[in-house]
Amino acid sequence: MTSRPVAVLSVAALTAAFGIAFAQTPAPAPAANAAPAAVTSGELPIPTAPAPAVSKAWVVMDYATGQVLAGENIDTQLEPASITKVMTSYVIAAEMAKGKVKGTDPVMMTEHAWKTGGAGTDGSYSGFEVNKTAPLEQMETGMVVQSGNDAAIALAEHVAGSEEAFAQLMNSYAAKIGMKNSHFVDPTGLSAQGHLSTAHDLALLGRALIHDYPQAYALNKIREFTVGPITQPNRNLLLWRDSSVDGIKTGHTSNAGYCLMASAQRGDQRLIAVVLGDTSEKQRADDVQALLNWGFRFYETHKLYDANAQVSVQKVWKGANPQVRLGVAEPLLVTVPRGRFESLKSSMEVPQNLIAPIAKGQKVGTIKLSLDGKQIAEAPLVAIEAVDQGGFFRRLWDSLVLWWKSR
């Protein structure tokens, strides 16, 4: 069928036409790399994002839309170091949700986990005693807060039998999340051949953990945790500096450098920032703090349409009803420079002739949003009600009319 574009309207015009209220809200959806848009019509342009001076890659993303506000080398594969443990947390939470493991499960600190990731190694550890068990929820807290490699390995063995089997789960869930340039080999982030991710993928992972498993995400804001006689602090310095920061994870190896993925919420807006390959603990915290401050200062997120709210009404041929109401299946959100919401333009593309029957939820067209002539978001238009096929005479009459129109 041939699609016809519907007239381009401002968001304000669509609001008046269809009675749809817009409001700022946090909720999720994904997008591609985009440079900050320049503000026209006499307004000052948004300053360039404060790019980290020495990192290998960085990105700042809006949580609600998944829109990349700024970044550099965002799809370059690099070692993620202990940010890997966010993927480990996601797998554990997903397997718990399926009932395959429980927070009360006794998890054994095996000799392999202790030797590979315990106190005798160069990496971070939690200090659970070898050949003894601890509840899964405690072992996971040690992994998240203390970045314990020993705890990560023990958890992987408990969930999947071995690190290798657990890595297969990691890669399966990563694909489901949409992490297109990541491959995991172990649950810790210790350097291993082929263990790679990207700043963009890691931001998507953080976004997925926050949205899908908020209880698991909440562990990331704990500032310290004690195992036996040893109390260790969370290495995310921003938890002490900025009350809006509630996660997510640090990482460091000699190959990866200093890495940090952080998220903060101020009012109704949440941002995620990732820096990979920085030079020190302080520098990674400074760099991420600057990116978060910049993003909150210059961008805002709006909800344009609720799920199943009417966006348009279109004529239907050969149907029991002469028209169908169209909307979006998921809330449609967009991130724009502050003060530019009223400048958004909205357009719709729908088939020239809609023929019944049309099922509820069936994709019928596309709605697109643009700012200053650049498309910044789109979503499928779906039927928010079914239209059954009309009776014999309705079908016959509409067929004759369509034939006449096509001549």
- CA proximity to 276, closest of 351, 201, 173, 193: 201
Q: Are strands 269-278 and 257-266 parallel, antiparallel or unpaired?
A: antiparallel
Q: What angle do CA 158, 138, 95 make, to 5 degrees?
A: 45
**Of 147, 197, 263, 343, which is the active-site residue?**
147
Per the annotation, the verdict on 82 as an active-site residue is: yes
Per the annotation, the verdict on 197 as an active-site residue is: no
Q: Rounded to an integer, what distance in angstroms lies between the CA atom of residue 296 and that of residue 271?
A: 8
DSSP conformation letters of 127-160: -PPTT-EEEHHHHHHHHHHH--HHHHHHHHHHHH
Domain ranges in the chain are 3-20+306-406, 57-299
* Per-residue pLDDT, 119: 75
C-beta of residue 78 within 8 angstroms of C-beta of residue 110: no
Strand partners, 135: 106
* Per-residue pLDDT, 43: 64
Q: In Å, how far are 85, 117, 318 from 390, measured between CA atoms?
A: 56, 68, 5
pLDDT of the chain, 407 residues: tens digit per residue:
444 444 344 454 444 333 333 333 333 333 334 444 444 445 678 899 999 999 999 999 999 999 999 999 999 999 999 999 999 999 999 999 999 999 999 999 999 999 998 777 778 999 999 999 999 999 999 999 999 999 999 999 999 999 999 999 999 999 999 999 999 999 999 999 999 999 999 999 999 999 999 999 999 999 999 999 989 999 999 999 999 999 999 999 999 999 999 999 999 999 999 999 999 999 999 999 999 999 999 999 999 899 999 999 999 999 899 999 999 999 999 999 998 988 899 899 999 899 999 999 999 999 999 998 889 889 999 999 999 998 898 889 978 988 888 87
Name the H helices within 23-110.
84-97
233: alpha, beta or left, given left = phi > 0 and alpha = psi -120 to 50? beta
**Of 55, 82, 126, 346, which is the active-site residue?**
82
**Of 85, 249, 303, 318, which is the active-site residue?**
85
Is domain 3-20+306-406 annotated with CATH 3.30.70.1560? no
Per the annotation, the verdict on 406 as an active-site residue is: no
Q: Rounded to an integer, what distance in angstroms lies between the CA atom of residue 82 and that of residue 192?
A: 12
Tell which CATH classification among 3.40.50.2300, 2.40.50.140, 3.40.710.10, 3.40.50.800 matches the domain 57-299.
3.40.710.10
* Per-residue pLDDT, 16: 39
Q: In Å, how far are 53, 99, 358 from 201, measured between CA atoms?
A: 21, 27, 37
* The amino acid at 162: S
- CA proximity to 146, closest of 99, 70, 82, 194: 82
Name the H helices within 44-183.
84-97, 111-117, 136-146, 149-160, 163-177
**Can you read off the two tokens belonging to residue 388?**
């059954």
- CA proximity to 145, closest of 233, 243, 85: 233
* Per-residue pLDDT, 106: 98
